[in-house]
Amino acid sequence: MRVAIVGSGFAGSLLARILAVQGHGVALLERGTHPRFAIGESSTPLANLTLERLARRYGLGDCYDLAAHGRWIARFPELRRGLKRGFTFYRHHAGRPFANAGLRSERLLVAASPNDHVADNHWLRADVDHHFVRAAIQAGVEYRDRVEVTPDTLKALHVDFVVDASGPGGFLARQLAIPSRLNRMHTHAGLLFSHFDGVRLMPDVVPGLPAGPYPDDWAAVHHIIEEGWLYSLRFDDGVTSAGFLLRDRVPGAPEEMWRHLLRRYPTIGALFGDAKPLFPLSYKPRIQHRLARATGPGWAMLPHAFAFVDPLFSTGIAWSLRAIERLALSFENGSVPSERDLARYEAQLSGEADQIDWLVAGAYHAMARFDLFAAQAMIYFATVSFAEVNQRIHATETAAWSGFLGVGDSRLGGLPRASLRRLRHARTREDRREFVSWVTRSIAPRNVCGLANPATHGLYPVDLDMLVQRHAVLGMSRESLVSALPALRA
């Protein structure tokens, strides 16, 4: 079959290469060039598990190595990346430095890996995307850059199928006049961002915080503020990708907005005060998008072309890889995906876009109070850790079609929507206590990691003993779980 893929971010390039490995003729069409700046950098265990499955199934050794920090450094030292040991959250209050209250600090650290070697990575997208394009070309993909793709371009290529991997570029949305469904999204945030040199480390600015399961800064760091939140992703070479997600526009030009927020939150000011933006700060008023369709006769979109919610909880890369896996499987029998596969693919993407939106919109409501936020975050961590452990133990391709973020799970599937509803009405201290207790009860049937446990003081290591204790949650005997432990440590 002849397939055109429009957009050569990592997602378009990786899918192009897999289809070429399967024997399809693939044209990868890019309107820009590589290397180029791109945002969306922080990977997760579920993303890496998908990379490993793709590596095994299609013989992509580099994908296996890029799925863990130690292997990445050993094989591709020239591709810039950052060590990501987990998810770090702090709550800041306007006009006050971050309060070090010891174990009662408004701080949450959830480890995603037990050590640096198997840890996740932040991807310096300029390098990683360029790598994936080069690998696609080597696999026989016909790559063209600096092209303005039109219906005539596609006609001339005689393609049987088009994949839209153009991200917010919205290639097919424009060509096919696909309506927007932004009005059904609950999340609303603008973005003020750049890459920076010279960002300080949290322990240097707030000394004496109790030791966590990993060094606080080697993580996806989330600084929650009254207007939204700031992500901060540190690469191993010292550069940091950072951006404020703001519910409402702060007045002024981007540089003024930035200075205003640094003044308002003294600890963030101390972290970033001497940092130099590596390119001018940029502001985008609303970053969410969502379309009415993800597939049609002869075409399909990758997630970032179909919908985007927010960087909160780093869902983008993992979701994109899951979708690549699904489409790749649908192309395996030598023809284009069947009508049935496309319908299933679209239904899943649509349900998953809703799910991410409910979870993130709920988290924005919960940001008002750190206890609420930490509880809402537990829904995310329960969902992904349950999926991760299952995928590690039962390493099969059936994971591809399992719902992302608990979609379709009888216990977890309904939680993001229900929590958003509850959070909208949580006002009093009693409401907050009730919300925390509801989350704890609701995730219990899937809580393989001992989440939502006040005795941890918000510091969650990867705890395999806890997992063994919870064997029944996975429907396994203690003995069978113990014998599966090597797969979990990998």
Ligand X SMILES: Cc1cc2nc3c(=O)[nH]c(=O)nc-3n(C[C@H](O)[C@H](O)[C@H](O)COP(=O)(O)OP(=O)(O)OC[C@H]3O[C@@H](n4cnc5c(N)ncnc54)[C@H](O)[C@@H]3O)c2cc1C
Which residues contact ligand X (rule: CB under 6 A)? 6-12, 29-32, 38-42, 149, 165-167, 169, 171, 191, 243, 287, 302, 304, 311, 314-318, 320
For 244, the 3-state DSSP assignment is strand
User: What is the nearest approach in angstroms of ligand X to the Cβ of residue 62?
Assistant: 17
User: What is the nearest approach in angstroms of ligand X to the Cβ of residue 323?
Assistant: 9
Which of 292, 299, 399 is closest to 342 using CA atoms? 299
**Angle, nearest 10°, between helix axes 316-330 and 45-58?**
30
Pick the closer one to ligand X by CB: 41 or 216.
Answer: 41
User: What is the nearest approach in angstroms of ligand X to the Cβ of residue 12?
Assistant: 5
Pick the closer one to ligand X by CB: 168 or 252.
Answer: 168
Greatest distance between any 2 Cα atoms in the chain:
65
* CA distance between the termini of the chain: 37
DSSP string of 357-397, one letter each residue? HHHHHHHHHHTTSHHHHHHHHHHHHHHHHHHHHHHHHS-SG
Tokens of 233: 């992703």
Question: What residue has token string 């153009």?
Answer: 166
Pick the closer one to ligand X by CB: 282 or 437.
Answer: 282
Tokens of 436: 């925390």
Could you tell me if 38 and 7 are in contact, meaning their C-beta atoms sit under 8 angstroms apart? no
Pick the closer one to ligand X by CB: 3 or 11.
Answer: 11
User: What is the nearest approach in angstroms of ligand X to the Cβ of residue 305?
Assistant: 7
User: What is the nearest approach in angstroms of ligand X to the Cβ of residue 236?
Assistant: 16
Cα gap 431→227, rounded to integer Å: 22
User: What is the nearest approach in angstroms of ligand X to the Cβ of residue 109?
Assistant: 17
Residue at shortest CB range from ligand X: 40
Pick the closer one to ligand X by CB: 163 or 474.
Answer: 163
Strand-pair partners of 474:
none
Could you tell me if 164 and 307 are in contact, meaning their C-beta atoms sit under 8 angstroms apart? no
Cα gap 489→277, rounded to integer Å: 38
Pick the closer one to ligand X by CB: 35 or 140.
Answer: 35
What number of H helices and E strands is found in the chain? 18, 19
Question: Angle at Cα 257 formed by Cα 256 and Cα 263, nearest 5°?
Answer: 85
User: What is the nearest approach in angstroms of ligand X to the Cβ of residue 313?
Assistant: 8
Cα gap 289→371, rounded to integer Å: 29
Tokens of 291: 């379309």
User: What is the nearest approach in angstroms of ligand X to the Cβ of residue 310?
Assistant: 8
Pick the closer one to ligand X by CB: 220 or 481.
Answer: 220
Could you tell me if 180 and 290 are in contact, meaning their C-beta atoms sit under 8 angstroms apart? yes
For 73, the 3-state DSSP assignment is helix
User: What is the nearest approach in angstroms of ligand X to the Cβ of residue 114?
Assistant: 21
User: What is the nearest approach in angstroms of ligand X to the Cβ of residue 9?
Assistant: 2
Strand-pair partners of 460:
110
Pick the closer one to ligand X by CB: 145 or 431.
Answer: 145
Radius of gyration of the chain (CA): 22
Pick the closer one to ligand X by CB: 268 or 467.
Answer: 268
Pick the closer one to ligand X by CB: 165 or 378.
Answer: 165
Cα gap 7→218, rounded to integer Å: 31
